[in-house]
Amino acid sequence: MPVLLNFGVTSSAQLDHSVVHIAHIAEHTVSGSEQITMASSELARLGENLRTLVSQFKT
């Protein structure tokens, strides 16, 4: 749901709705950041495991 900014008279209900919507977007942003952090850590772990396996075949 898009947030419409009305630079005229804003009712308290409109303001409350906008603040709640912004808070909801912020929660999703935090959740996405946490998922990226976990995926990045897992990718680093897998990369290290791959490096270890490849090094076993080097002469």
User: Tens digits of per-residue pLDDT, 9-59?
Assistant: 668 889 999 999 999 999 999 999 999 999 999 999 999 999 999 999 875
pTM above 0.75, yes or no: no
What is the dihedral angle through the alpha carbons of 17, 23, 25, 27, rounded to the nearest 10 degrees? -150
DSSP state of 59: -
Give the integer Cα–Cα distance in Å for 38 and 41.
5
Q: Would you say how long the chain is, in residues?
A: 59
**The 3-state secondary structure of 11-46, one letter per residue:** CHHHHHHHHHHHHHHHHHHHHHHHHHHHHHHHHHHH
> What confidence category does residue 4 fall into, taking pLDDT thresholds of 50, 70 and 90?
low
Instruction: Look at residue 58 in the predicted model and tell me its pLDDT.
Output: 77
